[in-house]
Structure 1
Amino acid sequence: MKRVRPLKALMMTVWGVAMWAGCSGKPAAPAAPPPREVEVVTLAPKEVRDTGEYLGSLQSRQSINVLPQVAGYVRRIHVRPGQKVEEGTPLIEVDAREETAALDSAEAQHNSTEVNLELARRTLTRTEALYKEGLASAQEMERAQAQVDAAQAASRSSAAQVAQRQVQLQYHVVRAPFAGTAGDVLVRVGDFVSATTSLTSVAQADVLEVSVAVPSTRARALKPDTVLEVLDAQGKVLISSTLFFVAPQADPRTQLVEVKAAFRNTIGLRPSELVRARLVYSTRNALQLPALAVVRQSGQPFALVLEEKDGKTVVMRRPITLGALGEMAYVVEGGLKEGDRVAVSSLQALRDGMPVKVKSTPAPRAEAAPSGGGVATGAIH
């Protein structure tokens, strides 16, 4: 009997099965597709912050409007707007010719009294000598002593007048009371000024205060060490400090409570500038879920969690409760636990109970991001 080669026999068997299937009218079942590869994130607790953003205003801790102490015409302006000045730097000079003349007159009067005092003393010395020799009476002695006393009193009075005129003359040069930055110069040479005329301002910008008004309900959670952060337009922290002042009462009209923090100005901020400010009310550890991993249906958020069933890795849709949204991540308040693996890719193609395969290079975990509510609104004490 002739033997059939194994390969030929195998081909005949496959052909026979195909013929049988064709004759029976039932197509062969297709092979199951391989599990879809997905990226996952493993949940772990991270520090999250309860924050609120508000509009803050910057104030100088040392700022003053400069007024003259005398009346007169502006003779010279020594400062430019925005110029850095040191303590005692001349700012404005008021015409002092009249006061200078008065000082010269007072000094001349003082010189005259000094001459009279010297003459009275010499007269007293001669009278004392004559009195000892019996050539002068006691009345003449008393008269000479009285002239010396009167001349001394006149000398002291004239000296006081000179000192007064010198002090008054100094008022005609308005100087910076402390180091800072000069504001706009509001007068011009030739203007007449009085003691109520505002000349310019001097503000110290090295140390600034940021003032924020917060709702009274949130102010109850504030503590002396509460952190306040100054942000730029993109939300990046420019500088941070801690509160040193919380108003003891709310504004009766707005029901807002003023809080303040002070910081050393190393970033070029200016007094009276409006800035974004963020208060950190509290911090805690919580799970965070990337915003892209959240699936919503009828307003209910879900997460696709990887589970092991029958030796396979499948995704299960699980309802979750979300907290505040930070930067690209939600705070998870319920529905998930530490160690859960959540799919973060191909979410639209995944179905409940569908087998999946974790990619060999998982997606990086979401960084902890500040979370907060409210409307958008460093340390010196």
Structure 2
Amino acid sequence: MEKIRLYSIATLCLAIVLSSCGNKQEQQAAKMPPATFPVAQVSHKTVTGFQEYPTNIEGIVNSDVRAKVSGYIQKVLVDEGQKVRKGQVLFKLETQSLSQDAGAAKARINVAKVEVDKLIPLVEKGIISSVQLETAKANLAQAQANYSSIAANIGYATVKSPVDGYVGAIKFREGSLVSANDETPLTTVSDIKQVYAFFSLNEADYLNFLQNTKGNNLEEKIANFPEVSLILANGTMYSEKGKIETSTGQINQNTGTVSFRAVFNNPNQLLTNGNSGKIQVPTIYENATVIPQEATYEQQGNIMVFKLSKNNTVSSSIIKVKANVNNLYVVESGLKEGDKIVVTGVGKLRNDMPITPQEVAFDSVLKPIEKLFKN
């Protein structure tokens, strides 16, 4: 009995001690401040995001060089990639048969001229009628026209460059038989002091272009549109900026896209026909509400942020996003200038949770991705 009583007293004492320790821990926990989270005041900024579209490059002038007469190529006087001047000889065709035809045609001219010279005095003396003379003159004119045609063909056998530029692929070599009816040109001479970059926008992007660019019509909007950039096939950025010049302004029913053409200076002839790459088209969001994606979370398909209330508790709020630009959201609605939001650690928060706010400059939150934007 004595042992049972002693055990009960010991148990009671232990319970009192444990209760005392628990109360102290609860009191200490009650005295601890809420967890600290960085918050920033939302402000407006002008930022530029970029969208990329595949593009094909062509010289501003691409002139097919074709034979105007049939014949065998006797000489190829240029090489691929060579710079040539307008009027420079590129190919020479064999002209032996044409030269023989020209000789025969010239002989017919002489015969016809002799006939005319013979008839003139006879007509003047009234020995023969003038009709015979007019017929002889017509025969002379026909012989001269025939000779001029053959001489022109001899000239066409010397194939010249129609423009200043650079020689493309040479499709035929010496000994090849060519004619004016060939589908494939002898070569193409391209003026690449400037180049065209062709690309297409889908219907949604085209509507955004029309709605977000200043101007009363398509021509004015194109004139007001900022410069575009070109990403080369190896992933590097081309040094020259380009300007959009034209657009079809019509949606292709087969592809659902609208075609655009930009022009780039090409002082070092780095670009040429057939190059590919990506056009980087800027979209400017002026005086926009911008927040880091890290400050948001998703819930049932909605994008949410935690706003800081006056009593230092946080409340969740749905935002509507206009654009996703790299690591930032451009906010259309749900936030206004002056609102304070938690910028990191939102996964640890819940509605109406008290926090200790640590205010940070909003620009410092955007600093890691600052280089991706133009202010």
Q: 1:287 touches 1:338 (CA, 8 Å); kept in 2?
A: yes
Q: 1:37 touches 1:358 (CA, 8 Å); kept in 2?
A: no
Q: 1:35 touches 1:357 (CA, 8 Å); kept in 2?
A: no
Q: Which has the larger radius of gyration?
A: 1
Secondary structure in 2 aligned to 1:174?
strand
Percent identical: 21
- 2:13 is matched with which residue? none
**Could you say what the CA RMSD is over the residues aligned between the two structures, in angstroms?**
4.6
- 1:164 is matched with which residue? 149
- 2:317 is matched with which residue? 319
Q: 1:35 touches 1:356 (CA, 8 Å); kept in 2?
A: no
Q: 1:291 touches 1:329 (CA, 8 Å); kept in 2?
A: yes
Runs of 5+ unmatched residues, structure 2: 1-15, 211-217
Alpha-carbon distance change, 327 to 74 in structure 1, aligned in 2, over 3 angstroms: same
Q: 2:56 touches 2:276 (CA, 8 Å); kept in 1?
A: yes
Alpha-carbon distance change, 315 to 211 in structure 1, aligned in 2, over 3 angstroms: farther
Runs of 5+ unmatched residues, structure 1: 1-20, 125-137, 371-381
| 1:65 correspondence with 2:79 | no
TM-score for the superposition, normalised by structure 2: 0.66
Q: In the aligned structure 2, how far is the partner of 1:200 from the partner of 1:23?
A: 97
| 1:78 correspondence with 2:81 | no
Match of 2:187 among 190, 197, 200: 200
Alpha-carbon distance change, 140 to 45 in structure 1, aligned in 2, over 3 angstroms: closer
Q: In the aligned structure 1, how far is the partner of 2:281 from the partner of 2:362?
A: 38
Aligned pairs for 1:1-381 within 5 A: 25-26=20-21, 27=24, 29-30=27-28, 32=31, 39-47=38-46, 53-104=52-103, 160=145, 162-197=147-182, 198=184, 199-216=186-203, 219-220=206-207, 222=210, 223-224=218-219, 225-226=221-222, 227=225, 229-232=228-231, 239-242=241-244, 244-248=246-250, 250-251=252-253, 253-254=254-255, 256-266=256-266, 268-277=270-279, 283-297=285-299, 299-309=301-311, 314=312, 316-323=314-321, 324-347=323-346, 352-358=353-359, 363-365=364-366, 367=370
Give the C-alpha shift of residue 59 in structure 1.
Answer: 4.3
1:201 is matched by which residue type in structure 2?
T
1:319 is matched by which residue type in structure 2?
S
| Paired residue total | 328
Secondary structure in 1 aligned to 2:252?
coil
Moved more, 259-268 or 353-362: 353-362
Q: In the aligned structure 1, how far is the partner of 2:67 from the partner of 2:76?
A: 13
Q: Which has the higher helix share?
A: 2
Q: 1:77 touches 1:189 (CA, 8 Å); kept in 2?
A: yes
Q: In the aligned structure 2, how far is the partner of 1:217 from the partner of 1:333?
A: 18
